[in-house]
Structure formats: C-alpha cells, structure tokens
Amino acid sequence: MSFLPFFSLETWILLITSICLFAVYGNWTYGIFEKMGIPGPKPVMYFGTLGRHNKVYYVADSECAQKYGKLWGMYEFRRPMLAVMDPDLLKGILVKECFTYFTNRRNFLLNGDLYDSISIAEDDQWRRIRHILSPCFTSGRIKEMFNIMKHHSSKLITHLQPKAQNGDVITMKGFFGPYSMDVIAGCMFSVEMDSSALISHASKLFKFPIALFMFQAFFPALNPLLKFLGFSFFPKKSTNFFKAIVEKMRAERNGRSGQNGQLGHKSDDILQTIVSQVTLFAFGGYETSATTLVFLAYHLARNPEVMKCLQEEIDSTFPDKGPVTYEALMEMEYLDSVVSECMRIHCPVGRLERVAKETVKINGITIPKNMLVMIPIYALHRDPEFWPDPEEFKPDRFSKQNKQRINPYTYLPFGIGPRNCIGMRFALVIVKLALVEVLQNYSLSVCKETEFPLTMHLSSLVEPLNPIKLKLATR
C-alpha cells in the first residue's frame, strides 16, 4: 500500500465522500423513465444519452425511433426528456392542452437581451407579444411586402447569371443566404441594407458557447446566478448590433415626424421588445429560409424529372417568363407539393419542445410536472408508417388528392397549434418566389463537387456539414 498517497484519515474520508457525492449527483436524475415504464437508451453519468446512437442529434432521434417506437425517454446531460411521435399524443400536447399545460418552450434563463423574444417568452407575456405581432404576418400584409421581395429576387437572378453563363460550380447558400437576409431586412426596415454584416451577426446567434451550455446542463441550479452575472448564449456584440439598427431607424423616423422620442421607461421597454423580435426574426428567418432553398435546389438537381414538371407549371402560370404575381404564386399546386416534400425530408428545425407546467395524463401516459417533452420532427418526417419510402423525394405525397389523407400531426415543419411558427406564411412566400424565379431562368444540375449522401452538421439546425454545390444552365 506504500504506492498510495499518504493522507490523514480525515482527508481520505473527505475525498471518498466527495467522489460518492459526485457520482450520486451525476446519476441522480436518471431512472425516471424506468419507473414510468418507458423505454430508451441507457444514460451515462452526467452526459445522459448524448451520442449513444449518433453524434448528430436529429439523426440519433431517427435511430431511437426505429429501436424504441413512438415514445421513449432520453437524457440531455442530466435532464430527462420525453420524446413523443404518437400523433394522438401530439394533438393533446400541441393543441388541446397547449394553453393549460404545454404553453411554454424550454427556457435556459441565459437569454441575455432576447429574454422577451416571442420564441422564448412565456405564458401571458408570450400571448401579449403574439397578439401584437400576428397582424404583421397576415396574407394581406405579406402581399403588401411582395414588391420588396420581388426586388431582391430579381437581384438574385442577376447575381446568378454570370455563374450560369460561365458554367461555374456554385455554392448555393452563398446566393440564397444574402437573398433571404435582404428580403427580411427590407421587409422589417423598408430600406436597403448591407446583408453581409447582418448575416455575420445572425449566424453567430445560432452558435451556443459549448462550455457554457455544458456547465448550465451539469449544474442547472446555478443558472439564476449565471444570469445575474450576465452570462448569455447569445453574443452581446451581435444583439447590440441589431439594437443599434433599431435605434437608428427610430431616430430617423422620429426626426422626420418631428418627435423627440423621449417617453421614459415605457419607451425603453417598447424598444427592448422590438429589438428582441427584430433580432429573432433576422437570425431565425435567415437561417431557416436560406437552408430550405439550398435543400430545394439540391433535391431538384438530383431529381431532374421533378424539376422539369415544376418548370412546366411555372411556364404555364407565367408564360414567356412573365412577372410573378402573389395570387398566382400562392395557387401553384405542384410548387407547394415540391416545397412541402423538401421540408418533410429536410425540415430546418429538427425538434420542437414543450415543458409541462403541471402533471397531466394524456391518452394513458402520465407526464410529470416540469418534464421536457421533445417532438423529433426529423424522425417523425421519416417514419415509414406515415411516409412510405421516407428517404425518397416524392412531391406527389402532397398532391391535392393525397394531401387530405395526411395526418396533420405527422407533418410539422412549422409546428402546429397556438404556438406554431408565426412567420410561416412569410417564409413560404420568400422560398416559393425565389424558387420560381430561379427555375424560370435556369435549370439546376449536380456536378462532381455535389456530395451524396449528405453528411449532416452537428449544429442546432438541420443542415449539411459541407456546402451544397451545384451548376446552373440558362434556359
């Protein structure tokens, strides 16, 4: 025993006790799903079930669904998470019991200046903000913004022209990204802005600091202290960037209207709320719409027969490359089928989350208070029970005849119920307009730089690890 360090008895007792407490704390939250009779992967101390099936979380969800069925338990570090894919349960969670038990999403507390954004706000605060913002996303309001969108879609076509003429290999997000941000900024501020700075800051807001994320997950009781000390997942520099834009716009408009804008604390509160929503729409809308357009281009390039059918619909709707109108765009059935099928296979958001405010029993399943309920959209959209040949790109699944047979709780690219995505109509118009104008003028094709199958990224969104590269040919 001489090789052991020489410590006093008290030191040995303290050391052994500390190790035991460390082990007990690291496993304390595990076992809840065994008591509930719900299957799932076995957790590892502190790290839970992360990486047990696949490092890409949404691919892991799909693998778990194949192994455990439509209901399983998992652990994100130490936090229990109930995964639900059963349509009847989803109806209860997302719609029937939304206002009573499942109003709120997960709140990390470390939200910085975005604490009152519509995606994070809770209960009455969320209802108030949703009520204020809803009129901004009606069909009538979007129709008013359509000319702004068309201005930027025309710029997109112009920027693609030399690439198509030269036969260059194109990194698709390098074009769809600026288009998406230009449209969002133009519709929010009604002015031309440099999209490069906006994209730079918006991209940073999706990249959580890994060390901070792990620390708060290991020791959630310290989150209020971390919040008090000013820690946040969202970089202060980026949120301040958007705040400066809003303040500048307000000052200019107050100057034109002859107001000085000095309304005290109430004005500051209103400004803070506006900044939060602007920041959220900028980084959320940019990433999701740009990623959807990239995946659309990828699927059409790999399925030229689908692209040809879509181009035929475009040509018949807008003969001789005529100007795209809002009403005709919204009535294009095959276009809607193509976009819907793309968002089934590659929905930008891999999961939805809700937190149970109280213990509730739904369809025989008891969900404890504070349980994090996770809806694995990526896995749900690939369930062969609901979607035969789920990996195949088949827009006819969403044809007028077939669409009526789809269970609405098996297709959730924008969520469903009272807390669905408020910008759904806006995002679809952005995507459909760009796709129609691109295919009016060009045809897409794969090249040797096009990756297949795609390697998926570990990030919070569903996106490829490597940029998708394609070629364009002028029509």
Q: Which positions make up the binding site for heme?
A: 421
Residue list for the binding site: 421
What distance in Å separates the CA atoms of residue 47 and residue 30, rounded to the nearest whole number?
11
Q: Where are the alpha helices (DSSP H) in 95-169?
A: 123-133, 139-166
Contact status, residue 353 vs residue 374, Cβ threshold 8 Å: yes
Contact status, residue 273 vs residue 129, Cβ threshold 8 Å: yes
Contact status, residue 157 vs residue 438, Cβ threshold 8 Å: yes
User: Which residues are within 8 A (CB) of 112 and not within 5 positions of it... i.e. 6 or more apart?
Assistant: 232, 233, 234, 236, 239
Contact status, residue 36 vs residue 366, Cβ threshold 8 Å: yes
The full length of the chain comes to 475
Residue of 83, 2, 86, 77 whose CA lies nearest to 45: 77
First to last CA, the chain: 82
Determine whether 369 is exposed, middle or buried from the number of CB atoms within 10 Å of its CB (0-12, 13-18, 19+).
exposed
The DSSP letter of residue 100 is: T
* Pairing relationship of beta strands 372-375 and 71-76 according to DSSP bridges: unpaired
- Record the tokens describing residue 173, joined without a space: 């997000």
Residue of 180, 136, 182 whose CA lies nearest to 429: 180
What distance in Å separates the CA atoms of residue 111 and residue 323, rounded to the nearest whole number?
43
Cis peptide before 453 (omega within 30 of 0): yes
Strands (E), 19-66: none
What distance in Å separates the CA atoms of residue 115 and residue 276, rounded to the nearest whole number?
8
